[in-house]
Amino acid sequence: MGQNNAEGGCLCGAIRYKINGKILGAAVCHCRDCQYVCGGAPSYVFLVTAQSLEITKGETASFRSTADSGAIRIRHFCKACGTPLFAENSFYPDVLSIKAGSLDDPSIYKPAAHFWTKSAPNWHCIDPDLPSLPEGESRDPK
């Protein structure tokens, strides 16, 4: 990916955002929580620094939960149409994961790894050419 200044938003248009910085990475998360949030599918996300996400329109609603990793996740979504948009992770407070489906042009998205494959149902597609982990990334020791 690496594309700067990508823009996106939710299905109804109430929320709009802009990325003012580098995309740090991209991954597919198969954890059970993501299956709920994505309607069964894994979560296709890319990572940016928290300060590079600029909400240019509207205000998100959020839901807080404890992930299988033990991290507190705060998931932000549109309260009008329910589109999942981005999430905070207490293990990586400077990083946000943004749902690829919310990009204006989702074709710029390119996943680089699969996480939590042990939670994937057998009908999830897992690219055999990408690194995959049965669980998440281990907690950053920094």
- In the block, residue with structure tokens 């999830």: 124
Q: Which stretch binds Zn ion (CB under 5 A): 68-76, 79-87, 90-98, 103-111?
A: 79-87
Q: Which stretch binds Zn ion (CB under 5 A): 34-42, 68-76, 84-92, 94-102?
A: 34-42
Closest CA to 52 of 19, 26, 24: 19
Amino acid identity of residue 55, one-letter, is I
**Looking at 13-21, 48-56, 87-95, 100-108, which segment touches Zn ion (CB under 5 A)?**
13-21
38 contributes a contact to Zn ion by CB under 5 A: no
Neighbours of 27 (CB within 10 A): 23
Residue choice 38, 55, 80, 133 for contact with Zn ion (CB under 5 A): 80
Nearer to Zn ion, 19 or 30 (CB): 30
Element (H, E) at 36: helix 32-37
Could you tell me if 26 and 1 are in contact, meaning their C-beta atoms sit under 8 angstroms apart? yes
Residues that bind Zn ion (CB under 5 A): 10, 12, 14, 29, 31, 34, 78, 80-81
